[in-house]
Amino acid sequence: MAPPLFLLFLQLLVLVCSSSAQAQNISLGTSLTTQGPNKAWLSPSGDFAFGFRPIEDNSSFYLLAVWFDKISDKTVVWYAKTVEQEPQPIQVPSGSSLLLTSTGVLSLRDPTGREVWNPGAVGAPYASMLNTGNFVVAAAGGSSISWETFKNPTDTILISQVLSPGMALRSRLLTTDYSNGRFILKLEAQSAALYSMAVPSGNIYDSYWLKTGNITNLAFNMSGRIYISMDNGTQIDLASAAVGSMEDYYHRATLDQDGVFRQYVYPRKLSSLSSPTWTSVAIQPENICDAMTKVGSGTCGFNSYCMFDGTKNQTRCVCPEKYSFFDEQRKDKGCKPDFQPQSCDLDEAGAMGQYEFNLVNNVDWPLADYEQYTPIGMDECRQLCLIDCFCAVAVFHDNTCWKKKLPLSNGNMASTVQRTVFIK
Ligand SMILES: *[C@@H]1O[C@H](CO)[C@@H](O)[C@H](O)[C@H]1NC(C)=O
Ligand SMILES: *[C@@H]1O[C@H](CO)[C@@H](O)[C@H](O)[C@H]1NC(C)=O
Ligand SMILES: *[C@@H]1O[C@H](CO)[C@@H](O)[C@H](O)[C@H]1NC(C)=O
Ligand SMILES: *[C@@H]1O[C@H](CO)[C@@H](O)[C@H](O)[C@H]1NC(C)=O
Ligand SMILES: *[C@@H]1O[C@H](CO)[C@@H](O)[C@H](O)[C@H]1NC(C)=O
Ligand SMILES: *[C@@H]1O[C@H](CO)[C@@H](O)[C@H](O)[C@H]1NC(C)=O
């Protein structure tokens, strides 16, 4: 039997009401749950959503996040993190909920009802997912904002967002793993810089991009320019591309897993020719493989080398021949040799029987040297490495020989690196 007409009408009414209600101010006593029916609050334009997002690699767990809702991959631009010295992304199990309580507190709760996160605002009259992508909690009285995602960034900034000294962007570990990654963009009173970090200790290494001065802020303006302002009026671009209008493109800029800060655009209108994707339009630094030259493994892991493809602005990590990745998913963990280390008891003849060299050009690991000979010939260089049980690689250039030890670090392959390399 067909359902009575008035029931259909009622369903339609509920649909219309709930979708229009989503685009308004979020009023007290409203909630979201991971299982729905309300999983997210939308901005009036529908471009952005705030709510629960299943984690790609771990789909029974959710992030509390802001994402681009109209594009198919629902790119996440913000996610809730704990409020401690070293903030960690919060992953809640299915059955969790988010409440804007009747007393004006935003509260994330696990399935047992225990609070796992709360941004600290009390007595808020309402909250709102704005068209800019900023999720805000209004302050008591309603005329100002007490908490907002734009002031608590994760790895991404959006147009009209401004960061002040004390704020930072932290990369995630992988596209699908929101754990803290290995890079940070820190804005401080006297500097703006990109640093690599040790995971999991959080120890900060040297910067690979640095500007000093009295920093006022970092802004992403309506023209798509991302720049740092100083109190004496100087402005320095972090990334800046002449990009299409707001009507034609979505915009974002993200500190990616490989340590590159990339500005991206995504066409709003679907083209019949190609499936839309985020395209990088500007990057910092220009070449991440050249930029990382200090302590730590670099953007690729130990024993690997880094190649930067300047036409696609993409980083590639490669293992030398006879080495392989510890973890194909996490190339930053580096490469392990597929062979036994050389015994230091082997004599010259023994080493000659067991080890050989693979020749590569245009690559170097500038930090792994432990001995240098000059002047010397190429054959002698190779021989000195072969009989030395500490020697993993011999590098030859211009009558100079460098012996390198494991682990090799900051490996960089580029046509500008003029080296002949023998990998034992
Ligand atoms: C949300 O509430 C504020 C303050 O009452 C009001 O100014 C604003 O217009 C409201 N926004 C929407 C989308 O209803
Ligand atoms: C999924 O996330 C939870 C919470 O962080 C974690 O305990 C669990 O190990 C993860 N599972 C997988 C398969 O990654
Ligand atoms: C402002 O300060 C920066 C950093 O010290 C300096 O490089 C720049 O030249 C100064 N600009 C002006 C206009 O004084
Ligand atoms: C930064 O500000 C301090 C205090 O106003 C001033 O003394 C100093 O000269 C400024 N430095 C630069 C590089 O502008
Ligand atoms: C963005 O910044 C640039 C450089 O300061 C300026 O030329 C441009 O007008 C700004 N755009 C907007 C919309 O403010
Ligand atoms: C790569 O980055 C450069 C420098 O920021 C930019 O000019 C170029 O358009 C980018 N190309 C691609 C394909 O992303």
CA–CA gap between residue 266 and residue 255 (Å, rounded): 17
233 CB within 6 A, ligand 4:
no
Q: Which residues, in sequence order, are CB contacts of 252 under 8 Å at separation 6+? A: 68, 75, 77, 156, 157, 158, 263, 264, 278
336 and 231 within one domain: no
Q: Which residues, in sequence order, are CB contacts of 311 under 8 Å at separation 6+? A: none
143 and 77 within one domain: yes
161 and 275 within one domain: yes
Q: Per residue in 333-389, pLDDT tens?
A: 889 988 887 878 767 766 667 778 888 888 787 777 788 889 999 999 988 888 888
Domain finish residue from 286, 320, 351: 286
CATH number of the structural domain spanning residue 273? 2.90.10.10
Q: Per residue in 12-61, pLDDT tens?
A: 433 333 443 344 689 999 999 999 889 999 999 999 999 999 998 888 99
204 and 141 within one domain: yes
In whole angstroms, how far apart are CA 253 and each of 80, 264, 294, 416? Answer: 18, 6, 26, 29
262 and 321 within one domain: no
370 and 261 within one domain: no
Indicate whether 299 belongs to any domain: no
Indicate whether 295 belongs to any domain: no
Q: What is the pLDDT of residue 333?
A: 86
CA angle 312, 314, 318 (to 5 degrees): 130
Q: How far is CA 95 from the centre of its chain?
A: 28
Res. 68: pLDDT tops 80: yes
Could you list the beta-strand ranges (E) of 15-103. Answer: 26-27, 30-33, 40-42, 48-55, 58-68, 76-79, 92-93, 97-100
Look up tokens 């007409």; give the residue: 5
How many angstroms separate the alpha carbon of residue 4 from the centre of ligand 2? Answer: 46
Res. 89: pLDDT tops 90: yes
Indicate whether 69 belongs to any domain: yes
Q: Which domain holds residue 322?
A: 305-423
372 and 238 within one domain: no
Indicate whether 296 belongs to any domain: no
In terms of C-beta density within 10 A (0-12 exposed, 13-18 middle, 19 or more buried), how is residue 83 classed? exposed
Find the mean pLDDT for residues 418-423. 77
1 falls in which pLDDT band (50, 70, 90)?
very low
Total number of domains constituting the chain: 2
321 and 247 within one domain: no
374 and 261 within one domain: no
Q: What is the pLDDT of residue 32?
A: 96
Beta bridge partners, 421, equal 360, 395
How many angstroms separate the alpha carbon of residue 237 from the centre of ligand 3? Answer: 14
Indicate whether 298 belongs to any domain: no
Taking CA atoms only, the protein residue closest to ligand 1 atom 9 is: 25
195 neighbors 206 (Cβ within 8 angstroms): yes
Q: Cβ–Cβ contacts within 10 Å for residue 277, how many?
A: 11
Q: Which ligand is nearest to the CA of 190?
A: 4
Residues with CB under 6 A from ligand 3: 213, 230, 232-234
229 and 191 within one domain: yes
Residues with CB under 6 A from ligand 1: 24-25, 44, 126, 128, 142
Taking CA atoms only, the protein residue closest to ligand 2 atom 1 is: 58
Taking CA atoms only, the protein residue closest to ligand 2 atom 13 is: 58
Q: How far is CA 60 from the centre of its chain?
A: 23
CA angle 48, 127, 217 (to 5 degrees): 70
How many angstroms separate the alpha carbon of residue 91 from the centre of ligand 2? Answer: 8
How many angstroms separate the alpha carbon of residue 38 from the centre of ligand 3? Answer: 51
Across 27-31, 63-67, 71-75, 304-308, which has the greatest mean pLDDT? 63-67
Taking CA atoms only, the protein residue closest to ligand 5 atom 3 is: 225
How many angstroms separate the alpha carbon of residue 216 from the centre of ligand 4? Answer: 12
272 and 378 within one domain: no
CA–CA gap between residue 53 and residue 76 (Å, rounded): 8
319 and 265 within one domain: no
